Amino acid sequence: MRISFRQISVSCSIFIGLHALHAEARTSSTAKEADSTAVHHSATQPPAAAAKPTGPKGEAAAPRKASSSGLSTSVLGQFTAAPEEISVRGNMATATGVTNRTPGGGLMPVQTAPRTQSGITRDYIAKQSPTANISSLIAALPGVTFSSQDPLGMTGDHITMRGMNESQIGYLFEGAPLADPINYEPYTSMLVDSENLGSVTVSQGSPDLNAPFYNAVGGQITATEMNPAHKMGGFLDVGGGTHSANKEFIRLETGDIGNSGVRGFVSFSHTSYNNFRGPGGMFRYHVDSKFVKEWGDDNSISAIFSYNRQQATSWRSPTKAQWDQYGIGFAYDPKFTPGDSAYYKLNQSNINSQLVVLPMHFTLADRLKLHVSPYYVHQFGPSLGGENIPASGGYYGTQQYGTLNPGAGTVVNGNILTSSRDPWNQKTGGINASADWNITRSNTFSFGCWYAYTTHEELSDFSPVYPDGQGWSNENIKVNGKILSGYDLNFMQQVNTLFIADTQRLLNDKLTISAGFRVAMVSRQGTNLIPGANPYKMQGNYFEPLPQFSANYQITDKDQIYINGTTSFRAPESVEAYSQIFDPNSAHAVMQPQSLKPEYSIGEEIGYRHHGSFYNFAMSLFNYNMTNHQVTSTGYIPGTNLMVASPINIGGQTSRGVTAELGFRRWHHISPYFSGQFLHSTFDNNFNTGTGVLPTAGKIAVGAPKFTGAIGLNYDDGTYFGNFQLRYVDTQYTTFMNDEKMPAYLTSDITLGYRMKSFGRIKHPQIQLNLMNIGDNHYLSGSSYTSNAQAQKQTNGTVVAGSAPTYLVGGNFAAMVSVSTGF
């Protein structure tokens, strides 16, 4: 009899759950007795009277910073919370960093910023699959919709917040903007392993005033890495699961190095799996390193390094008709036949990166602090797709060529099967600096600047595929001695921003008012060396003034109300916004550059928060008005398996709604969490197709589900732990004319685990089982967008043909068992 991994994992789940209930029943009287002796401490008591928060190794945790971007709490319009009564029941001893102090099982830390803001901590991160990336980890937060592509949460960063996707959201990692500076893809799996991730904060709607962004009209996501331990040691995590998934991770801690004040860690991981649909798979090698030097009064220098090598078989995106016909069976071909461009080995993506960030914080005087964060990022491909190109009579740009030399390949039906490569190469260096000057006890003035320089090179080429399909030649196909290409791009970008801000605290610090002004300047230029490219040289210059205002009032020590008014903008996305894309199968460009104005957003929010000894609650109302709203349509180059992103200016868009979340503190080891958002988002203008106008004004915006919600339930008694998550996403329109939509879907995950006592050098070992999509739902999780899927009549009476959107397929059931320990 064959037993599947899923049957084994479910059996383990039931066994661990029953064992936990039995253990809870046996120890209930002991627990009650222990609870009765709990001591309540005040945050204002001397250190000797209250237990210190501890990190993974039991050492005192570092003080929590108000913002990873370096600004003080007051500069962001935040305030220092009044003393909070907390209940201390002993220190949680774990090797993973779990302390069980965050309400909602790690999903609702206390927030004080005068804007809608949510977050996750180690209490939640450590209990998710070790393969998860930043985007998949925040999927339960209010207003966040994550588009899964694999059940393990490794590939893809496709999310939306309030109807805006990841390219409209700023990603900040340790004070540096590490998303792609041109197409704004965050590539969070490249940044950090989840075992090293300390916390993630999500601002659903507005970025920090000093944040180094020029695309964050939809909000900001800030991630921080764990600080190194003060004691020498390390952490080991080994896991395996369905789809032949495995991950091996090790972190080595130096501890405090003599009396130097320096400590650090270096980690290495390897991850791989087979695709859950279709052939192929993914492998990833990753290195993280962080060293910290601290001295004096809040002086510190950190050195953060990351390296990532990742290769994966691309996911094939179906249309709605293909999904209805094939379901999850729509994938690349597992077997090769001559001329088959859909053979899986020809369709791959490579995501490689090297990054260095050096956050520095200095106290220059009693009332003056300086924050400087230089950074360098190198990201490179290639992306690969199979394509048949004409053996003769095809095109190099607009020039028709004669007969090509197939080299190591063969000619089938007049075509040469090739590996169409896009070896993009991008480098960015920048520095973000700000200063806080406390003019008086109640007034803080801040100012700063950000500069970044980016170069981007992208020369596509075609390599003949061997007759057996097992690889391709290193020799590119050439025309008159030049590499046959669809685009030969050299792109350069410079960014300068300046900001000033002033924060005033009144009424015994109950009322805090902040006002600031930022000006962003973006300069871009590039060339396309393909014959016939018009324009040969492209450029864009953007100058945007961005004022912000916020006010918050502390009603009581535990209750806060706030209002804000913010502005933000986004420069046009991707080099395709400026340059033509050619293909050997077409006599003219298959993608034309667009004259796109920068997207501009004006937003208002009013909100209320409560954080107390039993629960945390937050609720906000929001309104956003955008002009020149750019919707990103991702599609295949005609006749190829290469996807490119094309921005479309849809005009104005208005989004209004309400966001709420509720997280409970631990009660009998249980911490529930609830979040939800209601969103009404509409287009304000009709859409110009180039041949006429479609009546899209008043239509529901694409990618804007009316309702999203999540339920979480966490249990942790120090030995047995687990959590349950349920997420719902409403239907979403995928065309501007609302003639096609993506169905609503529901997914749920379960975690079960057991911690053991330390013995010898082995510190708090544990076993953890993660079950993803336990209902094995087959669903569409995201999409590209088109103006209309069906033929539609324009306002001038002409009919425009439909164009079917393509969709992302959500991951099916998966399980991951991991064993970890400190040492």
Q: Poorest-confidence range of 11-20, 576-585, 640-649, 786-795?
A: 11-20
Rounded-to-integer distance, Cα 387 and Cα 370, Å: 53
pLDDT of amino acid 49: 33
Give the pLDDT band (50/70/90) at residue 818: very high
Map tokens 């002993």 to a residue.
90
**Average pLDDT in the 207-225 region?**
92
Query: 642 falls in which pLDDT band (50, 70, 90)?
Result: low
Q: What confidence tens digit (pLDDT) does each residue in 90-126 have? A: 456 799 999 999 999 999 999 999 999 999 999 999 9
* Residue 286 scores a pLDDT above 70: yes
Q: Which percentage of the chain shows pLDDT scores above 70?
A: 87
- Predicted confidence (pLDDT) per residue in 391-448, tens digit: 999 999 999 999 999 999 999 999 999 999 999 999 999 999 999 999 999 999 999 9
Catalogue the E-assigned strands of 174-333. 176-177, 197-203, 220-225, 233-241, 245-253, 262-274, 281-295, 299-313
Q: From CA 144, how far away is CA 160, in angstroms rounded?
A: 6
Tell me the pLDDT tens digit for each residue of 439-462: 999 999 999 999 999 999 999 999
Maximum C-alpha span of the chain: 88
Higher pLDDT, 272 or 86: 272
* Confidence band for 156, pLDDT divided at 50, 70 and 90: confident
Nearest alpha carbon to residue 272 among 232, 230, 312: 312
- Local structure of 789: helix, strand or coil: coil
Please give the radius of gyration of the chain, using alpha carbons only, rounded to the nearest integer: 27
> Which domains, and CATH codes, for the chain?
39-87+95-231+257-408+426-822 (2.40.170.20)
Quote the mean pLDDT of the chain.
Answer: 87
CB neighbourhood size of 676 (10 A): 18
Mean pLDDT, residues 326-347 taken together? 94
Burial status of residue 103 (CB atoms within 10 A of its CB: 0-12, 13-18, 19 or more): buried
pLDDT tens track for 654-672: 999 999 999 999 999 999 9
| Integer Cα distance of 556 and 706 in angstroms | 34
Single out the residue of 560, 537, 544, 389 nearest to residue 476, CA to CA: 389
DSSP code at position 474 = S
What is the average pLDDT across 370-389? 94
Task: Say how far apart CA 597 and CA 575 lie, in whole Å.
Answer: 14
Contacts for 820 with CB less than 8 Å, ≥ 6 apart: 95, 96, 235, 236, 237, 238, 765, 766, 768
Q: Judge contact between 730 and 737, C-beta under 8 A.
A: no
Handedness of CA 580, 586, 588, 592 (dihedral sign): negative
Report the amino acid identity of residue 152: L
CA quadruple 796, 800, 806, 807: dihedral sign: positive
Dist. CA 237–CA 247, nearest whole Å: 8
pLDDT at 27: 40
Distance CA 507, CA 495 (A): 40
Name the residue with higher pLDDT: 242 or 75. 242
pLDDT at 12 exceeding the cut of 60: no
Q: Where are the beta strands (DSSP E) in 381-459?
A: 383-390, 395-396, 399-400, 411-412, 415-422, 425-440, 443-459
Residue 54: the pLDDT is 37
Q: Which of 300, 307, 304, 301 is nearest to 289 (CA)?
A: 304
Residue type, 728: Y
Contact present, 781 and 147 (Cβ < 8 Å): yes
Tokens of 801: 């043909």
Residue 623 vs residues 76, 264, 407, 544, 658: alpha-carbon distances, Å: 21, 44, 59, 21, 9
Residue 117: the pLDDT is 95
pLDDT of 21 > 90? The answer is no
Mean pLDDT score, 171-182: 91
| Cα gap 335→470, rounded to integer Å | 11
The mean pLDDT value for 489-505 works out to 96
The pLDDT of residue 163 is above 50: yes
pLDDT in the model for residue 157: 82
Burial 392-428 (b: 16+ CB within 10 A, else e): eebbbbbeebeebebbebbbbeebbbbbbbbebebeb
Question: What single-letter amino acid sits at 629?
Answer: H
pLDDT tens, residue by residue, 48-91:
333 333 333 333 333 333 333 334 433 443 333 333 333 333 45
Q: Is the sign of the CA dihedral 135, 137, 139, 141 positive or negative? A: negative
pTM above 0.85, yes or no: yes
69-73, 78-82, 234-238, 705-709: the lowest-pLDDT one: 78-82
Please give the Cα distance from 652 to 682 (Å, whole number).
9
For residue 325, the surrounding DSSP H or E stretch is helix 320-326
Q: How confident is the model at residue 85, as a pLDDT?
A: 33
Q: What's the gap between Cα 298 and its chain centre?
A: 30
> How far apart, in whole angstroms, are the C-alpha atoms of residue 603 and residue 625?
6
Beta strand residue intervals within 14-123, DSSP E: 39-42, 85-88, 117-120
Contact 724, 670 (CB under 8 A): no
Enclosing H/E stretch for 30:
helix 5-36
Burial of 525 (0-12, 13-18, 19+ CB in 10 A): middle
Q: Which candidate, 122, 217, 222, 226, places its Cα nearest to that of 176?
A: 222
pLDDT of 494 above 80: yes
pLDDT at 273 over 80: yes
Residue type, 677: Q
What is the per-residue pLDDT for 630?
A: 84
Task: Work out the average pLDDT over 295-315.
Answer: 94
| Burial group, residue 697, by CB count within 10 angstroms (0-12, 13-18, 19+) | middle
Given pLDDT bands bounded at 50, 70 and 90, which one contains residue 205?
A: confident
For 39-71, letters b (16+ CB in 10 Å) and e give eeeeeeeeeeebeebbbbbbbeebeebbbbbbb
For residues 341 and 640, the answer to whether their CB atoms sit within 8 Å is yes
Judged by DSSP in three states, 166 sits in: helix
Sign of the C-alpha dihedral, residues 773, 276, 646, 191?
Answer: positive
pLDDT band at 634 (very low <50, low <70, confident <90, very high): low
- State the pLDDT at residue 16: 43
Instruction: Check residue 636 and give its pLDDT.
Output: 64
Q: How far apart are CA 82 and CA 588, in angstroms?
A: 66
Cβ–Cβ < 8 Å for 414, 403: no
Decide if 756 contacts 809 (C-beta within 8 A): no
* CA–CA gap between residue 295 and residue 742 (Å, rounded): 54
Q: Strand 220-225 and strand 170-173: pairing?
A: parallel
Measured CA distances, 331 to 254, 377, 633 (Å) = 46, 33, 21
User: Tokens at residue 5, please?
Assistant: 């991994």
